[in-house]
Amino acid sequence: MNVADSQRVSSSLESLGYSAAVRPEEASVIVLNTCVVRQSAEDKAYGRLSSLAPLKKANPGLVINLMGCLVGVRPPDKLRQRFPFVDVFSPPSDPGPLLAFLTQDETRLKLAEETATRNAWMDEDLPLPEAEYGKLISAHIPVVLGCSHACSYCIIPYRRGVERSRPAVDIIKEAHSLVRQGVKEITLLGQIVDRYGLDDPSLPGLPGLLRELNTIEGLERIRFLTSHPNYMTDELLEAVAALDKVCPHIEVPIQAGDDEVLANMRRGYTSEQYRRLVEKLRKVIPGVSIATDIIVGFPGETAEQFQHTFDLMADLKMDVAHLARYSPREGTVSARNMVDDVPAEEKMRRFRLLEELQESIAAEIHARYMGQTVPVLFEEKVKNRWRGRTETNKLVFLESDDDLRGRVIPVQITWTGPWSMQSRLPAPKG
């Protein structure tokens, strides 16, 4: 989401005539986009921000824009006091305040003031993400902004605001524009992307949106993330299975494999319901790959409860697990009402156990690709190897002198590991 937000800012700036600087020292405008989902991300944001102070001192004309979840829907006075050298504060997803500042446009300035109540990605005034996306093979389109679910540990709803689905016409227009510029793969984004349209009866749901996008000529692949288990309807699963451009890859976090922990997290499902969903995904979408997220060391998580998560992961053997150690976030229900009582070393131990388990599962799944010929969309050349992905989102490398950028090519897998695969062009037939 932050990558998409940053690209949106880039293209907005390009529309005003700015171009990208190579180093911060050469820039006349610096935008620092920030994440605060865990303390480590927040610390990094403060660190980077502090490192910009000397630049501002050396060059008072430099415009510094602090953007994203560190700011939230309304910039807190605390931030302004602590970082007086910041010229503009912007909420997540919103280039509006920066554009207003740079153009000193009265209407824009006023809009930026009301920023908390408006919807930046619906702003007619902003250009489509042209130039920046023009360099991309794979682009992101936010379709649901904000989140209203309120998982007890999560700060995102407080910082990105309430859930707002973008109009389908805007999304489709944007997709067409991207494809005209050479984009081959589009990933639809939302904190709970499978809730697309549920907040607005005039909109189609995610399956309807996928069906529309599937008709775009020149577009090769469609992905979407992140899904919440409770909104993965049969209609959605069937759409993924039926639509040729929609990839058989689902990102659907479980967060924990223990029912009491899940209830404390306010996730709204049990581990048994999640198991049944995985079964159904595998039945309805042949060859589907599944990615999940896990938080270890949630308040009160006992060794036995963690074991339930471990056993479930060992059992379900999903393709990818994004692992995190619980980090209390200011203002969230868990930070206010629960004690962060799992010691740091124990969180680390649980994290390592899952990491090791997942590495062996991924290696096992990838080994099944050995010798197979699979279509790969190649995106860029790193050193002498082309980097691309299978429909199931596996990273594949190929040595070739040809220009493969943006091409979908069937390649034969010659080596597999837990994180990537290598391939060669299959021998011509006959």
Name the site residues for ligand SAH (rule: CB under 6 A).
37-38, 147, 153-154, 156, 191, 226, 253, 255, 293, 295, 324, 326-327, 329
Smallest separation, CB 124 to ligand SAH (Å): 27
User: Cβ of residue 329: shortest distance to ligand SAH, in angstroms?
Assistant: 5
Q: Please identify, using beta-carbon distances, which residue of 274 and 326 lies nearer to ligand SAH.
A: 326
Candidates 264, 187, 195; CA nearest to 229 is: 195
Q: Which is nearer to ligand SAH, 148 or 214 (CB)?
A: 148
Of 217, 248, 212, nearest in space to 375 by CA: 248
Tokens for 118? 């408006």
Within 10 angstroms of residue 20's Cβ, the number of other Cβ atoms is 11
31 or 189, CB closer to ligand SAH? 189
Residue number, 41 or 216, with CB nearest to ligand SAH: 41
Measured from the CB atom, the residue of 154 and 318 that comes closer to ligand SAH is: 154
Answer whether 285's CB lies under 8 Å from 237's CB. yes
Q: Dihedrals φ, ψ of 398, to 5°? A: -145, 130
Q: Please report how close the Cβ of residue 253 comes to ligand SAH at its closest, in angstroms.
A: 4
- DSSP letters, 233-298, are -HHHHHHHHH-TTB-SEEE---B-S-HHHHHHHT-S--HHHHHHHHHHHHHHSTT-EEEEEEEES-
CB atoms within 10 A of CB 105: 14
* Closest to ligand SAH by CB, 252 or 404: 252
Min. distance of Cβ 52 from ligand SAH in angstroms? 26
Nearer residue to ligand SAH within complex by CB, 249 or 329: 329
Minimal distance, residue 154 CB to ligand SAH, in Å: 4
Nearer to ligand SAH (CB atom), residue 295 or residue 312? 295
Count of alpha carbons within 13 angstroms of residue 255, beta-carbon side: 23
CB of 169 to ligand SAH, least distance (A): 25
Residue 36 or 88 having the CB closest to ligand SAH = 36
Own/partner contacts of 51-57, CB < 8 Å, gap of 24 or more, are 52/24, 52/85, 53/85, 55/24, 55/25, 55/30, 56/85, 57/85
Nearest distance from residue 296's CB to ligand SAH, in Å? Answer: 9
CA separation for the pair 135, 126 (Å, rounded): 19
Our CB check for ligand SAH shows the closer of 8 and 329 to be 329
Shortest separation between residue 255's beta carbon and ligand SAH, angstroms = 6
As given in the structure block, the two tokens for residue 415 are 């080596």
Q: Are 3 and 11 in contact (CB under 8 A)?
A: no
Q: Is 103 helix (H, G, I), strand (E, B) or coil?
A: helix
Q: What is the rounded distance in angstroms from the CA atom of residue 273 to the CA atom of residue 113?
A: 44
Q: 134 CB contacts (<8 Å, ≥6 apart)?
A: 181, 182
Minimum Å gap between C-beta 227 and ligand SAH is 8
Strands 395-399 and 385-390: antiparallel
Question: C-alpha distances in angstroms, 415 versus 150, 186, 383?
Answer: 43, 28, 19
Least Cα distance to 210 among 253, 252, 244, 176 occurs for 244
Residue 401 C-beta: closest distance to ligand SAH, Å: 39
* Shorter beta-carbon distance to ligand SAH: residue 191 or 423: 191
Q: How far is the CB of 294 from ligand SAH (least distance, A)?
A: 6
The answer to whether 137 touches 182, Cβ cutoff 8 Å, is yes
